[in-house]
Structure 1
Amino acid sequence: MTPSTPETSTEGADGIDSGAGPRAVHRALELLTLIVDSGPQPLSDLARSSGLPTSTTLRSLRALEHWGYIARTDDGGYVAGHRFARSRFDAEPSSAEHLFERSADVLQRLTELSGESSYLAVRGPGRTCIYLREVQSDQPIRHVGFSGWAGRTAPMDGSAVGAVFDGRTPSSGFLVLEALSAPDATVVAAPVFDPAGDIVASISIVGPSFRMGSEHVAELGPLVANASIDLTAALR
């Protein structure tokens, strides 16, 4: 009787199954996961969290950046990139691409006019939304907790974006709520409609509450509403 051949483990020294793909892929996915789950991070933090040498971490980050899955912030941190954000948009690829491309100029103009950071969010799985694009304000004081949100998922319940998707925008065309994840920030949001008249996205601006008094919000609200109208028109 011939003895059976024992199974040979394909697990490498670092615990990664070599049969599941090159180690470089696993490293890149680990770094992408760290960025998506924890928000903007510098190279040093990513290397420390992943346990990888800084040089190896940098090579993986450069590959992810090249393909648009991550991007660099002005202060050198890494955030989820445009390709990753679009991949999470639960819609036809052509619709996601169209919305993403058309939103660039609209958000840039909204940030310039309002002086606050602007965001585009779409529906995610269940009661969540996914931030598809952001344009950060150059104000010396802005709500840094909302930097690097492109590609990130957030709960809709209790949020301004959730209220927009639930159809609770008043006749003014915009709504104002305290930021769900930051009580010291205020959100002004408005709906974007597709050609069928369904709410397909939310445009919003976020700023520190001390700067978002009622008089200033009365000026900012129409800017957000007009931006949503412009993007709605661009999708037709």
Structure 2
Amino acid sequence: MADATGGTESTSRVADVLLLFVEGPSTLGVSRIARDLGLSKAVVHRILQSLAARDMVALDPASREYRLGGAAAALGARALRDSDLRSAALPLLRGLRDETRETATLSTPVPHGRVYLDQVVGLHEIKMTVELGRRFPLHAGSSGKCMLAHLDPEHREEALAEPLEALTPHTPVDAVALRGELDDIVARGWAVSAGERQADAGSVAAPVFGVSGEVLGAISVCGPRYRMTDELVAGLGPRVAAVAAQISRRLGGDPGHPSSAAPVAAGRNA
């Protein structure tokens, strides 16, 4: 039992080191990793040496810091290629982008947040893009909020009990007020953000559900705030929810909030 426990702990440390590269800077040094994870430099150095031998990380000779290696990139690419959620969503995201001329995105929940899995970039000269693979908190932005709203009560309360970081001046950080907004999102079927994750961005998102009714992810339409007017958002909400319901059905899931809304007229607020 002692060996099993030690092995599990070591595996967790290796995973924690790799996960730091998901949300931190592109390169990390031994001291930074040791400080962030509360480990000794000797332990971190051994982990990095083992990962480097398998091309999971690579050492930059100039800075003496590490970045993700080719094997890590290959794992990420394979995960994307084999993602049923991404495969089911991508054709419909392209259609949503063509209808609205704004960027359409796909997110999925991960421990302590969510990540963007894919995006179809908008057709305007000035357009929104998102950073794939980086972890963002669930309480900031429409995609995160609509997933948070549909978590089971225990996990939803766990997320709300944590400190709610203000990414911008418009990020919701009052757990009581946010609970009320999440209830509204469940009732309505879609969520809205105006500068919550990124100050100059606006978005509308809706959840995607799996076979057991669990929330698998969210799709969104996002653009600069000056184009995401109240009029556009009012039309986009039901439409994004309808497309999310189509994706849920493709995955064998419960659409949650089906909608028969008509497509949004492309570019009417451009």
Q: Structure 2 vs 1, CA of residues 124 and 22 (structure 1 numbering), >3 Å: closer, same or farther?
A: closer
Name the SS for the 2:126 alignment partner: coil
Verify: 1:139 aligned to 2:169, yes or no.
no
Question: Which blocks of at least 5 consecutive residues in structure 1 are unaligned?
Answer: 1-14, 32-45, 70-81, 87-95
Verify: 1:118 aligned to 2:104, yes or no.
yes
CA distance in 1, matches of 2:229, 2:191: 14
Verify: 1:173 aligned to 2:194, yes or no.
no
CA distance in 1, matches of 2:134, 2:49: 30
Name the SS for the 1:141 alignment partner: coil
* TM-fit CA distance, 1:113: 1.1
Equivalence for 2:55:
25
Work out whether residues 186 and 208 of structure 1, in 8 Å CA contact, stay in contact via their aligned partners in 2: yes
* TM-fit CA distance, 1:125: 0.8
Of 80, 91, 101 in structure 2, the residue corresponding to residue 105 of structure 1 is 91
> Once superposed, what is the RMSD of the aligned Cα atoms?
3.3
* TM-fit CA distance, 1:202: 0.8
Verify: 1:83 aligned to 2:78, yes or no.
yes
Amino acid at match of 2:85: L
Equivalence for 1:130:
115
Work out whether residues 141 and 192 of structure 2, in 8 Å CA contact, stay in contact via their aligned partners in 1: no
Amino acid at match of 1:223: R
The alignment-based identity, stated in percent, is: 26
Work out whether residues 143 and 208 of structure 1, in 8 Å CA contact, stay in contact via their aligned partners in 2: yes
Equivalence for 1:234:
250
Amino acid at match of 1:211: R
Q: TM-score, normalised by structure 2?
A: 0.54
Of 161, 164, 176 in structure 1, the residue corresponding to residue 146 of structure 2 is 164
Q: Structure 2 vs 1, CA of residues 152 and 221 (structure 1 numbering), >3 Å: closer, same or farther?
A: same
Of 190, 200, 208 in structure 2, the residue corresponding to residue 184 of structure 1 is 200
Work out whether residues 206 and 240 of structure 2, in 8 Å CA contact, stay in contact via their aligned partners in 1: yes
Verify: 1:217 aligned to 2:199, yes or no.
no
Name the SS for the 1:177 alignment partner: strand
Q: TM-score, normalised by structure 1?
A: 0.61
Q: Structure 2 vs 1, CA of residues 195 and 182 (structure 1 numbering), >3 Å: closer, same or farther?
A: same
Work out whether residues 114 and 223 of structure 1, in 8 Å CA contact, stay in contact via their aligned partners in 2: no
CA distance in 2, matches of 1:111, 1:166: 24
Verify: 1:195 aligned to 2:225, yes or no.
no
Work out whether residues 85 and 150 of structure 1, in 8 Å CA contact, stay in contact via their aligned partners in 2: no
Deviations 1:165-210 (A, max 9, x none): 2323254422211242322110101011112222221111110011
Equivalence for 1:39:
none
CA distance in 1, matches of 2:188, 2:237: 8
Deviations 1:140-170 (A, max 9, x none): 01124x2xx2222111123322321232325
Q: Structure 2 vs 1, CA of residues 64 and 166 (structure 1 numbering), >3 Å: closer, same or farther?
A: closer
Name the SS for the 1:210 alignment partner: coil
Amino acid at match of 1:139: H
Equivalence for 1:152:
134
Deviations 1:14-61 (A, max 9, x none): x987973666826xx349xxxxxxxxxxxxxx9987889xxxx9xx77
CA distance in 2, matches of 1:198, 1:166: 11
Q: Structure 2 vs 1, CA of residues 104 and 48 (structure 1 numbering), >3 Å: closer, same or farther?
A: farther
Name the SS for the 1:134 alignment partner: strand
Deviations 1:44-90 (A, max 9, x none): xx9987889xxxx9xx77x877x474xxxxxxxxxxxx43557xxxx
* TM-fit CA distance, 1:100: 2.0
Q: Structure 2 vs 1, CA of residues 68 and 115 (structure 1 numbering), >3 Å: closer, same or farther?
A: farther
CA distance in 2, matches of 1:24, 1:48: 21
Name the SS for the 1:120 alignment partner: strand
